[in-house]
Amino acid sequence: MNETTAPALTLEREAELFFHSYARLPLDVVCGEGNYLVTRDGRKYLDMIAGIGVNALGYGNARVASAIAEQARKLIHASNLFLLEPQFKLAEKLLALTGFSKVFFCNSGAEANEGAMKLARKWAARVSPEKRQLLSLTNGFHGRTYGALTLTAKAKYHEGYEPLLPETGYIDFNDPQDLEKKVSDKTAAVFVEYVQGEGGICGLSQEFLEALDALRAKHNFLIVADEVQAGVGRTGKFFSYQHFNVAPDVICAAKPLGGGLPLGAIIGNERVADVFTKGVHGTTFGGNPVACAAGLALIEELEAKDLMRRAAELGAFFKAELVRLMRKHIQIRAARQYGLMIGVSTSREASYYVSKMLEKGVIINATNGNVIRLLPPLTITESEILQVVAALDEVFSAEWRST
Ligand SMILES: Cc1ncc(COP(=O)(O)O)c(C=O)c1O
């Protein structure tokens, strides 16, 4: 039985097989081609969410595919008991791109944040046993493991899971007064997304960052940048913090980092360089050689095809088109954009637009209730952007007519 003759996968069967944790789209996806996903019945969908921000190069990138195949033939897994060339090369690249000092590889965004929380507490314990508080911002998202979940302020993610991690707390997003109230000498770290993803594509203000920087100097804490969604080229620079003049001490990266394979990284500056000593943190799979080889190929491709500059340019083009739509359709409240990380606030639940756009062959995503989130592959073209804008225009117009 080949792919097209096999029975189609259904949501009913999904419900029989799996815990009901995902609200999946009813698409039986069998492969990807360029910036499109292809279903079993041969329909093609322009993919504006790219595996939730993972597939920075779209589908079927030759450089990444060859790197995976070549490394898989040599060595798929050996563990961190050994010296592994793909890890070394990727670590060298990440340190060169950031000017930071040390890397720890793991498998996911949540795991990177989890490790960074441990790193922060270990670092702070040297200063004082009282220095244990881990803070994060409201409206943020950091993952689903207990530590990362604790950092994630939204109550809906906590329900039924309490108690969460102690000595943690939330600072109101972009509120320097609240920041000043919450931090103290007991603060070990403040976790921030310089550009919040799940929160609706909202960037930190310069005022907030400057206050954070000054309070870091006063109270001696770490700034941890969760770059899981905004990092690895998406915003037009390798990491989103590089758009701002306040650098973090620790960076958590994942999503596109492994070229589509599971890979996360904690990257630390000199302040934390000697915190993790032998045996204090670890993982079996983290830094898997195939994932590292794929990640290195991904970065090479970003550089060879100048995709970060393109992300900045195409993002600005996309934003201008959205602003044009905004003048036409009152349902659009705002359009926010950092490279190819785009949020469109609408006057109703954004999930409505997800199904309407699907009917037009475009996959979009809804986040934070009323925000359409667009995280296209960085390989998206101008004409594909115009295709999305035309489909949005039609959907907003049809909604307008039906009310
Ligand atoms: C900013 C941010 N941090 C952490 C995570 C968690 O990453 P993962 O799903 O790989 O655990 C996500 C996932 O969407 C994210 O957007």
Residue 70's pLDDT is what?
Answer: 98
Quick: pLDDT tens for 66-99.
999 999 999 999 999 999 999 999 999 999 999 9
Residue 115's pLDDT is what?
Answer: 98
Q: What is the CA(218)–ligand 1 centre distance, in A? A: 30
Q: What is the CA(53)–ligand 1 centre distance, in A? A: 10
Residue 400's pLDDT is what?
Answer: 74
Instruction: Judge if the beta carbon of residue 142 lies within 6 A of ligand 1.
Output: yes
Query: Quick one: DSSP state of residue 9?
Result: P
User: Distance (Å, rounded) from C-alpha 115 to C-alpha 145?
Assistant: 11
Confidence check: pLDDT of 4 > 90: no
Confidence check: pLDDT of 1 > 80: no
- Domain of residue 397, residue span: 11-61+341-402
> Is the residue at 76 inside a domain?
yes
Whether residue 81 sits in one domain with residue 44? no
Quick: pLDDT tens for 10-50.
999 999 999 999 999 999 999 999 999 999 999 999 999 99
Task: Band the pLDDT of 2: cuts 50, 70, 90.
Answer: low
In the chain, the number of structural domains is 2
Place of tokens 């220095």: 131
Whether residue 208 sits in one domain with residue 99? yes
Q: What is the CA(143)–ligand 1 centre distance, in A? A: 5
Whether residue 260 sits in one domain with residue 249? yes
Whether residue 382 sits in one domain with residue 288? no
Strands 187-192 and 222-226, sheet pairing? parallel
Quick: pLDDT tens for 166-199.
999 999 999 999 999 999 999 999 999 999 999 9
Whether residue 109 sits in one domain with residue 179? yes
Task: Pick the range with the lowest mean pLDDT from 7-11, 56-60, 116-120, 217-221.
Answer: 7-11
Instruction: Judge if the beta carbon of residue 229 lies within 6 A of ligand 1.
Output: yes
Instruction: Provide the 3-class DSSP secondary structure of residue 180.
Output: helix
Write the Ramachandran bin of 50: left for phi over 0, alpha for psi from -120 to 50, otherwise beta: left
Instruction: Judge if the beta carbon of residue 143 lies within 6 A of ligand 1.
Output: yes
Instruction: Provide the 3-class DSSP secondary structure of residue 266.
Output: strand
Instruction: Judge if the beta carbon of residue 104 lies within 6 A of ligand 1.
Output: no
Residue 402's pLDDT is what?
Answer: 74
Instruction: Provide the 3-class DSSP secondary structure of residue 207.
Output: helix
User: Distance (Å, rounded) from C-alpha 68 to C-alpha 389?
Assistant: 35
Instruction: Provide the 3-class DSSP secondary structure of residue 189.
Output: strand
User: Distance (Å, rounded) from C-alpha 39 to C-alpha 297?
Assistant: 27
Residue 35's pLDDT is what?
Answer: 98
What are 273's two structure tokens? 């360089």
Confidence check: pLDDT of 403 > 80: no
Task: Give the ranges where 141-261 is alpha helix by DSSP (H).
Answer: 146-151, 176-182, 206-219
Pocket test for ligand 1, best of 229, 241, 252, 285 (most atoms within 8 A of CB): 229
* CATH (domain of 259): 3.40.640.10
Instruction: Judge if the beta carbon of residue 321 lies within 6 A of ligand 1.
Output: no
> Is the residue at 227 inside a domain?
yes
Whether residue 394 sits in one domain with residue 291? no
The answer to whether 189 touches 137, Cβ cutoff 8 Å, is: no
Which of 286, 304, 322 is where one domain is finished? Answer: 304
Whether residue 144 sits in one domain with residue 196? yes
Confidence check: pLDDT of 3 > 90: no
Instruction: Judge if the beta carbon of residue 266 lies within 6 A of ligand 1.
Output: no
The pTM of the full predicted model, rounded to 2 decimals, is 0.97
Q: What is the CA(205)–ligand 1 centre distance, in A? A: 22
Whether residue 239 sits in one domain with residue 254? yes
